[in-house]
Structure 1
Amino acid sequence: MDRQNSDDIMRFLEGMASSDDVLFGFLDEGNHSPEDFPDNGNLNGDSDIDEESEVNKNCNSEENKAFWPEQEQLLQGTLYRTSSIETKIRQATKEALKQVKSKGLHCICRRPDNGGCRSCLRGEISRYLRDVAGYDCVISKSKWRSSQDIPAGEHEYIEIVDRSDSKKGEMRVVIELSFRAEFEIAKGGEDYKKLIGRLPEVYVGKPERLRSLIKILCIAGKKCLRDKKMYMGPWRKHKYMQAKWLGTCDRSNSLDAAVVSETSEPENWVPPAKPRVSRLNHDGLLGSLSTGMGRPTAVTVV
């Protein structure tokens, strides 16, 4: 795990002490209601979009001027129309983060760092949501192959499956701890930065809502880069961003995921020699691992 990753997590945890609004966004400010923002009528989003054609719709000066206010209104409207289960899980995620903040974050992977790592943080939050809050919570790892449009990649996030409403059936809720960072552009314009600033650092919501947000943000990203005459990398395209949270994924329990994801060793890696351990110490170690949540990890919420 690199130094930058550790520093980002430490700043994230320190920010929790100052304001929940920073982490969970304007959803917690309580200054507006969903009726303040029109329904964009597209919560399910599109299976795919052509960013170029969408941006070209705003080529004349008047449409170009209205583009950013419209995108911000669409963004806020999509985020505000949250359900009761999303709100409950968001609150539980807040409590999980507070627990991590109070206990401190320590890696349980083979490459520990004093600041902890994102994988261990996901694992700790997932364990809290499952063992303390009682949700069916797992860590999902999406993988996708390269295609003509996008390169191959993989991504990890937390996912809850809720079955409390028998009429609506099974419902998935995605938890992304560094949601805003996924869309940041280092040299983005002021309008784009303002739009991204409306995102929560931690996203907690249904995949359908996430699909709509991805569409809004990818169109805005394309517009931002085109205005600055910058190239849009394939890792910023709509298909690539969708694959992170909306594609095929493997699900695992939080402890296994936290350990395994950080142990993909290089081919020439040689494990250290195993220390000699007495039977007494060995049994004690197994007992301690089986009774609790282990060492904490850190995260963010919408």
Structure 2
Amino acid sequence: MDRQNSDDIMKFLDGMASSDDVLFGFLDEGNHSPEDYNFAAGDESEVDNETTDCNSEENRKFWQEQEQLLQATLYRTSSIETKIRQATKEALKVVKSKGLVCVCRRPVTDGCRSCLRGEVSRRLREAGYDCAISKSKWRSSHEIPAGEHEYLEVVDKSVSKKGEIRVVIELCFRAEFEMARGSDEYKRLIGMLPEVYVGKTERLKSLIKILCTAAKKCMKDKKMHMGPWRKHKYMQAKWLGTCERKSVSPVSETEEDMFPVAKQRVSMLNNGLFGTGMGRPTAVAVV
């Protein structure tokens, strides 16, 4: 997933909204109850109809509860999260204005996601944040397969009484939970997520539980097998397990001169970094 082409990254960056736009759009969407399942009319007995109505009501309540839990978890925020969120947004603005050049051994036109992580991390460090690229890696077990994942992490020690605070930055958060065969209710829930997550690990832990519970319910209702890479423990391992931090070295003025900004390389970012896209509100951070 790290070496995605420019079209994929353009979709990721295209349509990002400002925090305020996302806040109101998110709440407006959350005020609507999920649609009930549609059941075909037939010659069922009165008992069957009552059972169907009961199942439909239970299903509606489940998804409504998940939306409320998700909304409440996303809405809460702290001052440090707000500061890092704003800094992340500014870093992405700089990437948009200057363009992203892939510096990998096998460069991808218009840059790759790995280079994007490195550039955002570098900008945050220049802004005074202890930001690094974190790589988690876990072994296979009887429940989940082995895997690895990269994301950004800011460690804050400004409040001595609270100790060390970890803030995770996942640039493609919503995409981590999307399912092509997900139900309408599940897709609606995922649509409420921010495109980019910026928040404490405690908040992320709560979100993972909500989303994995919803995914399990979705697969069960559709009578489909749930892949081990979608299980709760697998998703936890991505961001909450043991990880290795790698700081990105700052780029000198000489190095920047080696990579002049070319007009054509800005094409993947020219659709409005903080506009709306695909008919639904997206976000730069947790709201």
Q: TM-score band, normalised by the shorter chain?
A: 0.7 to 0.9
Which residue type is aligned with residue 254 of structure 2?
A: S
Q: What is the CA-CA distance between 1:292 and the residue it aligns to? A: 11
Encode CA deviations 1:138-186: one digit per residue, 9 max, x unaligned: 0000000000000000000000001111221210100000000000000
Match of residue 242 from structure 2: 248
**Counterpart secondary structure, 1:15:** coil
Q: What is the CA-CA distance between 1:290 and the residue it aligns to? A: 9.1
Match of residue 127 from structure 1: 122
**Counterpart secondary structure, 1:86:** helix
1:116 aligns with 2:116: no
1:161 aligns with 2:160: no
**Counterpart secondary structure, 1:88:** helix
Match of residue 233 from structure 1: 227
1:184 aligns with 2:194: no
Encode CA deviations 1:268-302: one digit per residue, 9 max, x unaligned: xxxxxxxxxxxxxxxxx987239999989999533
User: Contact 1:25/1:200 (CA < 8 Å) preserved in 2?
Assistant: no
Q: Which runs of 4+ in 1 moved over 6 A?
A: 290-299
Q: What is the CA-CA distance between 1:239 and the residue it aligns to? A: 0.3
Q: What is the CA-CA distance between 1:29 and the residue it aligns to? A: 5.3
1:138 aligns with 2:132: yes
Match of residue 104 from structure 1: 99
Match of residue 26 from structure 1: 22
State the superposition RMSD in angstroms. Answer: 3.2
Match of residue 141 from structure 2: 147
In structure 2, C-alpha distance between the alignment counterparts of 1:163 and 1:212, rounded to whole Å: 23
In structure 2, C-alpha distance between the alignment counterparts of 1:165 and 1:173, rounded to whole Å: 14
Q: What is the CA-CA distance between 1:64 and the residue it aligns to? A: 2.3
Encode CA deviations 1:45-70: one digit per residue, 9 max, x unaligned: xxxxxxxxxxxxxx955432200010
Q: What is the CA-CA distance between 1:249 and the residue it aligns to? A: 0.5
| Structure-2 change in CA distance of 1:25 and 1:193 (3 Å) | farther
Identity between Structure 1 and Structure 2 (%)? 70
Which residue type is aligned with residue 146 of structure 1?
A: S
| Structure-2 change in CA distance of 1:70 and 1:31 (3 Å) | closer
User: Contact 2:153/2:167 (CA < 8 Å) preserved in 1?
Assistant: yes
Q: What is the CA-CA distance between 1:229 and the residue it aligns to? A: 1.4
1:12 aligns with 2:7: no
User: Contact 1:183/1:217 (CA < 8 Å) preserved in 2?
Assistant: yes
Stretch moving more, 138-147 or 4-13: 4-13
| Structure-2 change in CA distance of 1:30 and 1:79 (3 Å) | closer
Which residue type is aligned with residue 71 of structure 1?
A: Q
| Structure-2 change in CA distance of 1:101 and 1:164 (3 Å) | same
User: Contact 1:141/1:249 (CA < 8 Å) preserved in 2?
Assistant: yes
Q: What is the CA-CA distance between 1:208 and the residue it aligns to? A: 0.5
Match of residue 70 from structure 2: 75
| Structure-2 change in CA distance of 1:28 and 1:129 (3 Å) | farther
In structure 1, C-alpha distance between the alignment counterparts of 2:2 and 2:71, rounded to whole Å: 34
| Structure-2 change in CA distance of 1:135 and 1:80 (3 Å) | same
Encode CA deviations 1:69-126: one digit per residue, 9 max, x unaligned: 1000000101111111101110110001111011111101111111210100000000
With the length of structure 2 as denominator, give the TM-score of the two structures. 0.76
Q: What is the CA-CA distance between 1:226 and the residue it aligns to? A: 1.2
- Runs of 5+ consecutive residues of structure 2 not aligned to the other structure: 32-53, 274-283
With the length of structure 1 as denominator, give the TM-score of the two structures. 0.73
User: Contact 2:26/2:192 (CA < 8 Å) preserved in 1?
Assistant: no
Match of residue 95 from structure 1: 90
Q: What is the CA-CA distance between 1:25 and the residue it aligns to? A: 7.9
